[in-house]
Amino acid sequence: MASEGVHESDDVSDETDDHRPAPEPQGDAVAAAVAAGPSNGESVRVDSWIWSVRLVKTRSMGAAACKGGHVRVNGERVKPAHSVRVGDEVRLRHEGRERIVVVKRVIRKRVGPPVAAECYVDNSPPPPPRETVAPAGVRDRGTGRPTKRDRRELERLRDLPAAGTSGEAPDPHRQAHGTARRTTRRGTQR
C-alpha cells in the first residue's frame, strides 16, 4: 500500500496548503497611497496634491487654479507651492463647481480613482442637476437630407422662426389666394 503513494497526511496537507487570506483590494489601495506619499519630512505642494487625487486633470491646471485664486486652503487663497498637511480643508472652484475636501493622506504621485478617493473626505455640495431636455430634431443616421417639410417641423419643435420669415406683416394676396407674387424687372407676376 505504501507503493500507491497515497497517504492520509498528503490529503490533509493539500487542503491546508493555501492558508493565506486573499489580498483585499482596499489593502492594495492603501499600499499604493503609502507608496505614492512623500518620504519622511517632505511636504507636498497644493497644485501637485489636487492633481494627484484627481481633482484636476493636469498639474498645470492645478497651478493655474491656484494662481487664479480658485484654490483655498483653510480659508486662505494659496500659491501653487503652498504645502498641504493632513487635516487641511482644500476648496477648489473648477468647471463651475466648488469642491470641498479634507486631506486624509498626503500623496505626491498621481494614483487611480479608488486610491485617490481614500486620500480625502469629500464635503462638497452635490452637483447641480443636469437639465433634462428631450433632444428636439435628432434624425436617424443615414436618413439623408431633411426635406423642406421636415425642416419646418424641426424648427417648429425648436420654437425657432421659419427660415424665410422675417417678422414682417404677411402678404394679404398670398393669404387670400394661396399664391405668392414675384417682382421682376417687367413688374409683378404670379
pLDDT tens for each residue of the chain, 190 residues long: 455 555 554 444 444 444 444 444 456 766 766 666 676 667 899 999 999 999 999 999 999 999 999 999 999 999 999 999 999 999 999 888 899 999 999 998 999 999 999 999 999 998 877 766 556 567 788 888 889 998 888 888 877 665 555 555 555 655 555 555 666 677 666 6
pLDDT value at residue 139: 74
DSSP state of 2: G
pLDDT value at residue 113: 92
| Full-model pTM | 0.54
Query: Residues 116, 118, 119, 123: is their CA dihedral positive or negative?
Result: positive
pLDDT value at residue 12: 46
Asked if 80 and 56 touch (Cβ cutoff 8 Å), the reply is no
Pairwise CA distance, residues 33 & 102, whole Å: 16
Nearest to 163 by CA among 180, 148, 143: 148
Pairwise CA distance, residues 143 & 141, whole Å: 6
Which own/partner contact pairs does 73-78 have at CB distance under 8 Å and 24+ positions apart?
A: 73/46, 78/46
Pairwise CA distance, residues 103 & 120, whole Å: 5
Q: Which three cell numbers stand for residue 178?
A: 394661396
Quote the distance between the C-alpha of residue 49 and its chain's center: 19
Pairwise CA distance, residues 71 & 111, whole Å: 21
Strand ranges in 14-131 using DSSP code E only, listed in sequence order: 44-45, 71-73, 76-77, 83-84, 89-94, 97-103, 120-122
168, 171, 172, 174: CA torsion to nearest 10: -140
**Paired sense of beta strands 187-189 and 182-184, if any:** antiparallel
Q: Which phi-psi region, left, alpha or beta, contains residue 186 (left: φ > 0; alpha: ψ -120 to 50)? A: alpha
